[in-house]
Amino acid sequence: MKNKIKLFEPIYDGQEKRALQEVLTSGFWASGSGTGNVGIFEKKFQRYIGSKSCVAVSSGTAALHLALTIPDIRGKEVILPSLSFVSTAHAVIYNGGKPVFVDVDPDTLCIDPQKVIEATNSKTTVILPVHFAGMPSDLSKLSKIAKKNECMLIEDAAHASGTIFNSKKIGVHGDLVCFSFHPVKNLAMPTGGLISINHKKYREIRDTLLSRRWCGITDRKDTFYDVKEIGWNYYMNEFSAAIGLVQLRKLDRLNSIRKSIAKKYYKEIKTERKMPYRENCSYHFYWILVRNRTKFRKMMNAVGIETGTHYRPIHTMLMYKNKTKLKDTEKIGNEIVALPTHPKLSDDDIDRIISAVNSYDD
3-state secondary structure of 332: helix
Q: Which of 37, 59, 167, 211 binds ligand PLP (CB under 6 A)?
A: 59
Q: Does 180 bind ligand PLP (CB under 6 A)?
A: yes
Q: Which amino acid is at 254?
A: L
Residue 85 to residue 68: CA distance in whole angstroms: 16
What are the DSSP calls for 13-44, one per residue? Answer: -HHHHHHHHHHHHHS--SSSSTT-HHHHHHHH
> 154 with 195: CB under 8 angstroms?
no
Q: Does 285 bind ligand PLP (CB under 6 A)?
A: no
Q: Which of 88, 208, 237, 324 binds ligand PLP (CB under 6 A)?
A: 88
In angstroms, the Cα distances linking 360 to 2, 297, 298 are 19, 10, 11
Nearer to ligand PLP by Cβ, of 165 and 349: the residue is 165
Q: Which amino acid is at 25?
A: T
3-state secondary structure of 314: helix
Q: Does 282 bind ligand PLP (CB under 6 A)?
A: no
Q: Contact region for ligand PLP (CB under 6 A) — 17-25, 53-61, 265-273, 325-333?
A: 53-61
Residue 229 to residue 218: CA distance in whole angstroms: 9
Q: Which of 81, 97, 174, 193 binds ligand PLP (CB under 6 A)?
A: 193
Q: Does 182 bind ligand PLP (CB under 6 A)?
A: yes
Q: Does 51 bind ligand PLP (CB under 6 A)?
A: no
Q: Contact region for ligand PLP (CB under 6 A) — 136-144, 155-163, 242-250, 332-340?
A: 155-163
Q: Does 156 bind ligand PLP (CB under 6 A)?
A: yes
Nearer to ligand PLP by Cβ, of 142 and 354: the residue is 142
The values of phi and psi at residue 193, to 5°, are -160, 175
Q: How many residues bind ligand PLP (CB under 6 A)?
A: 14
Q: Which of 60, 71, 99, 313 binds ligand PLP (CB under 6 A)?
A: 60
* Residue of 270, 296, 261 whose CA lies nearest to 355: 270
Residue 7 to residue 50: CA distance in whole angstroms: 31
Q: Does 87 bind ligand PLP (CB under 6 A)?
A: yes
Residues 114-153 touching ligand PLP, rule: CB under 6 A, are 130
Using Cβ positions, the residue closest to ligand PLP within the complex turns out to be: 60
CB 286 to ligand PLP: min, Å: 15
To 10 degrees, the CA torsion angle through 166, 194, 311, 167?
-10
Q: Does 99 bind ligand PLP (CB under 6 A)?
A: no
Q: Which of 49, 102, 154, 158 binds ligand PLP (CB under 6 A)?
A: 158
Residue 140 to residue 254: CA distance in whole angstroms: 27
* 274 strand-pairing partners: 288
Nearer to ligand PLP by Cβ, of 119 and 133: the residue is 133
Residue 217 to residue 240: CA distance in whole angstroms: 22
CB 352 to ligand PLP: min, Å: 26
Our CA angle for 158, 61, 313, nearest 5°, is 70
Q: Does 61 bind ligand PLP (CB under 6 A)?
A: yes
Nearer to ligand PLP by Cβ, of 82 and 211: the residue is 82
Q: Contact region for ligand PLP (CB under 6 A) — 23-31, 59-67, 100-108, 291-299?
A: 59-67
Residue 205 to residue 201: CA distance in whole angstroms: 6
Name the site residues for ligand PLP (rule: CB under 6 A). 59-61, 84-85, 87-88, 130, 156, 158-159, 180, 182, 193
